[in-house]
Chains A and B, each alone.
Chain A
Amino acid sequence: MNEQTKIIHSGRDRDPYTGASSIPIYQVSTFHQNDPEHLGAYDYARSDNPTREALEHTIAVLEGGARGLAFASGMAATSSVLMLFQPGDHLVVGRDIYGGTYRVLTTLFKRWGLQVTFVDSTDPDAVRRAITPATRGLFVETPANPLLQITDLRAMVAIAHEHGILAITDNTFMTPHLQRPLEFGFDIVVHSATKFLSGHSDVIAGLAVTREADLGKKLKTIQNSFGAILGPQDSWLVLRGIKTLGVRLDAQQRSAGELASWLSGRKDVKRVLYPGLESHAGHAIHAQQARGGGAVVSFELADGPTAVAFLKRVKLPLVAVSLGGVESILSYPRTMSHAAMPADERLARGITDGLIRLSVGLESTEDLIADLDQALRSESSSSRQ
């Protein structure tokens, strides 16, 4: 079955009891048992819920893994995965991972006794050097946020195998439609399903998929014990969103590519960061591990005031945190995702005051270009005055 068809028919595309073409929303906490000595497949909805299970099955099929698990948010998925480790364990983590992951590692899990070294994961040698005898896991993200640096997934798997440690990656920016890390040998993929998977900016959800069944069983125990599960309504909405994942992402990626090229050609744009551009430092590696540059483009304007004025002038994209929805969203890392980071640290990482991140939606590319053009033009004319 081709991938676009799998998205629609993952094997849970109809209700086995009534034939309903949409999986029912099992808004239920518990299940009656016909035989008190031999409980049925479902007993309590924290453990298993048929609607959530349909989503978990679907993401496992799409990522090519043995087990999928759905959580209340991307951070609940990541935190549950981190609970696979013990106090005293050491992790090597990409320096440019999502801020929420950074926060949970440096606060909650630090107190819990997890040791973490942050390294530039675009440099496999740096990753290798960071590994100690206590290292039990490697956690990376590619493309990274917001600078879209590319980490070589195959190189990370090789390092993990050399040292017998777990390889974990956050695949939120790409989704299995564009990149399937488990096929390269990664052990676990996590997602903020809030973004492209659900895709409509209307649900908060997280997913994790394990390559092997044994690891899936361990994570399932954590999901059930810790209990940060996704509810049936939200599970169903994510499933509904996944049905159009292929058509959405194809259109968004096409549009993002056009916008990245258009932005690159402008004098008032200092630099454009998009892994689909040949000029991007990670382009060659990215092309070997993903089907296209995705739908997130970052670009840099002259300075902070220019960026702020630009963000006030745009009419079409929404100015907000988050990404991956049908609506284009502009984010300003300085005051949003990286506000908590000290300015010198932020600047050292290349997240300048002029940096803007664009999550490209489903609006027509022409309309988006026209809007960005007017916002940039007014900016250039006012800065000349």
Chain B
Amino acid sequence: MSSAKQTQLTTRLAQAGARVDKATGAISVPIYQTASFGHPGLGQSTGFDYSRSSNPTRLVLEETLATADGGHRGFAFASGLAALDAVLRLFVPGDKLVVTEDLYGGTYRLFEKIYRPFGIEAIYVDTSDVVAVELALAIPRVRGMLIESPTNPMLRIADIRTLATMARARGILTIVDNTFLTPVLQRPLEQGADLVVYSATKYLAGHNDVVAGAVVTATPELSERIGFLQNASGGILGPQDSWLTLRGLKTLTLRVERQQENALAIATWLVKHPRVRRVYYPGLPNHPGRGILLREKSGWGGMISFEVDDPACVPAILAGVKIFLFAESLGGVESLITYPSVQTHADIDEATRGRLGINDRLLRLSVGIEDVRDLLDDLEAVL
């Protein structure tokens, strides 16, 4: 992202909701904990009728999300999966989607347990492989493509711009799950994507204290369709959680920058550690996706996966860390450590896990904003 856009984003996020309440001038947008709104008269509306359709607190969050991604409109949902579910409802039985193969386990479950019986099929492809994607997009009745980049937990990078161009030529919708990099470090809509989805629980809210999801659309037509689905199926985000997510967004740039700075230092340190076999981090010089991220002026993010030499020592590492919390999720101010083969990716069969590289030596770090010296000391002690 250019530095001018970065500047605007930092400034806009800091002041999100600051000039909304004209009645009192309150600097923080009020939490409108209300279901319904009175009408000025018959056939008249204040613009708000019923909170499922639109709520003033949620609206400020949604406008902020749209601005952050440079999209047409933003939509806030009860969770990341509720957001993705609304996007998948754009498709009809018989449609197929090309999907990143090492994707988030919850998304995989949504496709396999909910949408496959309903007649919508996911075709799993390594989206860091342009040729493989090109072949998959040519399959009849492919109507959509869902990309996660970087992937979880292997941190593979897709060339969103190239893939979106190929999809557009065939009239296929490109959807990017931008949870890992956020609009601060990656701008999928500017690279040609049609829709961006988020688990806002992670970096956007950023404090491991709220569950939320978001969709940002590129065009008025998609806004209308997602808006209809949000209101019709109703998986909205409540006013309290909308307000907390907005509060989180105000420090998004600062947090993500510090997390990335810490992550690069940790990844560089892990590479040199004798007990570490492999390190997966897009900011490392030998990472295959680094060139794409550099070209797009994207960042590396705060996630690292690495393999230790002996799986037998994993329980001691997980029990021994003092600053890293041993917990699922990611993107918060606190550093977390996860064991993907047992936790986040247990639903994926062993053969697939093996092919992807999710083995019993693999650990994943979500790096927080603590002092990096303490994080390194903590890892040094358990390794």
Query: A residues bordering B, Cβ < 8 Å?
Result: 1-5, 8-9, 13-14, 19, 21-22, 200-202, 240, 243-244, 246-248, 251, 316, 318, 320, 325-329, 361-364, 366-367
- Interface stretch, picked from B38-46, B354-362, B365-373, is B365-373
Interface 1/0 per residue, B200-241 and A, CB below 8 Å: 000000011100000000000000000000000000000000
Q: Please, how many residues of chain B have a CB less than 8 angstroms from a CB on the other chain?
A: 38
Query: Which of the 9-residue segments B157-165, B183-191, B250-258 touches chain A?
Result: B250-258
Task: Please state if B325 and A21 are interface contacts (CB–CB under 8 Å).
Answer: yes
The answer to whether A367 touches B8, judged by C-beta atoms less than 8 angstroms apart, is yes
- How far apart are the CA atoms of A41 and B209 in the complex, in Å? 26
Given A202-B28, A248-B254, A8 and B11 touching (CB < 8 A)? no
Q: Decide if B327 is an interface residue (CB 8 Å cutoff).
A: yes
Per the bound structure, the CA–CA distance linking A206 and B28 in Å amounts to 19
**What are the 10 tightest A-B residue pairs by CB atom distance, in nearest-first order?**
A2-B371, A202-B28, A22-B209, A4-B371, A362-B14, A363-B11, A5-B370, A21-B208, A5-B374, A364-B7
B132 within 8 A of A: no
In the bound complex, residues from chain A placing their C-beta under 8 Å from that of B370 are 2, 4-5, 8-9
Q: Is the CB of B250 within 8 A of A200?
A: yes
**A202 and B247 contact, CB distance less than 8 A:** yes
- B59-87 CB mask vs A (1 if < 8 Å, else 0) is 00000000000000000000000000000
On whether the beta carbons of B374 and A244 are closer than 8 Å, the reply is: no
Contacts A240-B247, A361-B15, A362-B250 known; list 9 others, CB within 8 Å.
Answer: A2-B373, A8-B369, A9-B334, A19-B327, A247-B255, A318-B18, A327-B15, A327-B27, A364-B7
| Chain B 308-354 residues near chain A, CB threshold 8 A | 323, 325, 327, 329, 332-334, 336
Neighbouring A residues of B208 by C-beta, 8 Å = 21-22
Cα separation A328 to B10 with both chains bound (whole Å):
12
From A9, A200, A328, A362, B28 is in contact (CB under 8 Å) with A200
Q: Are A200 and B374 in contact (CB under 8 A)?
A: no
Q: Is the CB of B255 within 8 A of A244?
A: yes
Is residue B25 within 8 Å, beta carbon to beta carbon, of the partner chain? Answer: yes
User: Would you give 24 A-B contacts (Cβ < 8 Å), ordered by A?
Assistant: A1-B323, A2-B371, A4-B370, A5-B374, A9-B334, A13-B334, A21-B325, A21-B329, A200-B28, A201-B28, A202-B27, A202-B28, A202-B247, A243-B369, A244-B254, A248-B254, A316-B15, A318-B27, A327-B14, A329-B27, A362-B254, A363-B10, A364-B8, A367-B8
The minimal Cβ–Cβ distance linking B179 to chain A, given in whole angstroms, is 17
User: Once bound together, how far apart are the Cα atoms of A13 and B207, in whole Å?
Assistant: 11
- Rounded to whole Å, the gap between the CB of B15 and the closest CB of chain A is 5
Residues of A within 8 A of B18 (CB): 318, 327
In Å, the complex CA distance between A325 and B17 comes to: 13
- Nearest residue in A to B326 (C-beta to C-beta)? A19
| Chain A residue with Cβ nearest B327 | A21
Contact B334 A21 (CB under 8 A): yes
- Nearest residue (CB) in B for A368 is B11
| Given A1-B374, A2-B371; A320-B27 close (CB under 8 Å) | yes
Residue among B25, B27, B327 with most chain A CB within 10 A = B27
- Cα(A366)–Cα(B4), bound, Å: 9
B147 CB to nearest A CB, Å: 29
Q: Is the CB of A8 within 8 A of B333?
A: yes
- Chain B residues in 8 Å Cβ range of A327: 14-15, 18, 27
Q: Tell me whether B371 and A22 are in contact (CB under 8 A).
A: no
Contact of B334 among A2, A8, A200, A201 (CB under 8 A): A8
Pair A367/B11 contact, Cβ less than 8 Å:
yes
State the CA gap A206–B202 with chains docked (Å): 30
Q: How far is the CB of B377 from chain A (nearest CB, A)?
A: 9
Expressed in whole angstroms, the minimum distance between the Cβ of A93 and any Cβ of chain B is: 30
The residue on A at minimum CB distance from B370 is A5
Nearest CB in chain A: distance from B206 CB, A:
8
Q: Which residues of A contact B13 (CB under 8 A)?
A: 362
Cβ–Cβ contact B369 & A364, under 8 A: no
Question: B75 → chain A, closest Cβ, in Å?
Answer: 24
Known contacts A19-B327, A202-B28, A362-B251, A4 near B369 by CB under 8 Å: yes
Is B10 a contact of A362 with CB atoms below 8 Å?
Answer: yes
Given the interface pairs A247-B251, A248-B254, A320-B27, the reply to whether A9 lies near B323 with Cβ below 8 Å is yes
A325 to B209, CA, bound (A): 21
Per the bound structure, the CA–CA distance linking A21 and B250 in Å amounts to: 20
Which chain B positions have C-beta within 8 A of A251? 254
Nearest-neighbour CB distance to chain B for A336, whole angstroms, equals 13
A22 vs B241: C-alpha distance in the bound complex, in angstroms? 14
| Contact residues, B11-42 vs A (CB, 8 A) | 11, 13-15, 18-19, 25, 27-28
A21 / chain B contacts, CB cutoff of 8 Å:
208-209, 325, 327, 329, 332, 334, 336
Given contact pairs A244-B255, A247-B255, A320-B27, A326 touches B250 in the complex (Cβ within 8 A): yes
CA distance A329 to B209 in the complex (A): 28
Smallest beta-carbon distance B183→chain A, Å? 15
Residues on the A chain within 8 Å of B258, using CB: 247
Q: Distance (Å) between the CB of A98 and the closest chain B CB?
A: 20
Q: Complex: how many Å from CA A238 to CA B2?
A: 34
Specify which of A8, A200, A361, A367 is in contact with B7 (CB 8 Å cutoff): A367
Give the shortest distance, in Å, between A332 (CB) and chain B (any CB).
Answer: 15
**Is there contact, CB below 8 Å, between B325 and A14?**
yes
Check A363 against B14 for contact (C-beta < 8 Å): yes
A246 x B28 contact (CB < 8 A): no
Of the candidates B6, B13, B251, B375, the one having the most CB atoms from chain A within 10 angstroms of its own CB is B251
Take A4-B371, A325-B27, A326-B14 as given contacts and tell me if A240 and B209 are in contact as well, using a CB distance cutoff of 8 Å: yes
Assess the A364–B334 pair: CB atoms within 8 A. Answer: no
Taking CB atoms, residues of chain B closer than 8 Å to A364 are 6-8, 10-11
In angstroms, Cα B18 to Cα A362, docked, is 13
Bound state CA distance, A378 and B72, in angstroms? 34
Could you tell me if B14 and A5 are in contact, using CB atoms closer than 8 angstroms?
A: no
Which of A5, A201, A240, A329 has the most chain B CB atoms closer than 10 A to its own CB? A5
- Please give the distance in Å from A357's CB to the nearest CB on chain B: 16
Q: What B residues does A329 contact at CB under 8 A?
A: 27
Q: What's the least CB distance linking B253 to chain A, in Å? A: 8
B249-270, CB under 8 A of A: which get 1 and which 0? Answer: 0110111001000000000000
Q: In the complex, A366 Cα to B13 Cα: how many Å?
A: 15
Complex Cα distance, B247 from A302, in Å, reads 38
Contacts of A3 in B (CB 8 A): 371
Task: Give A377 Cβ to nearest chain B Cβ, in Å.
Answer: 20
